[in-house]
Amino acid sequence: MQTVTYSIPNISCAHCVHTITMELSDLEGVHSVEVSLEKKSATIAFDAPASEKTIINLLKEINYPPSLA
């Protein structure tokens, strides 16, 4: 299993946290999603077929693109 953490500047409220959590949880291969409103970040644990590329593409698609920090 792989775990990644992304900085997501667009997180501004509990609804953002809920949306990101629900959308990422629906990806096949994603085991857990922890989104922090305070840190404006998301930590995702996943296995194949999920990948960093599919996670980043989904975040962009739902208007929460990770920053390039």
Q: Which residues of the chain have pLDDT under 50?
A: none
pLDDT value, residue 12: 96
The CA–CA distances, whole Å, from 19 to 16, 48, 49, 50 equal 5, 22, 21, 18
pLDDT, position 68: 65
Helix (H, G, I), strand (E, B) or coil at 12: coil
| Domain ranges (residues) in the chain | 2-61
pLDDT at 55: 97
Q: Say if CB 33 and CB 21 are below 8 A apart.
A: yes
Q: How many residues does the chain have?
A: 69
Question: Which top CATH class is 2-61?
Answer: alpha beta
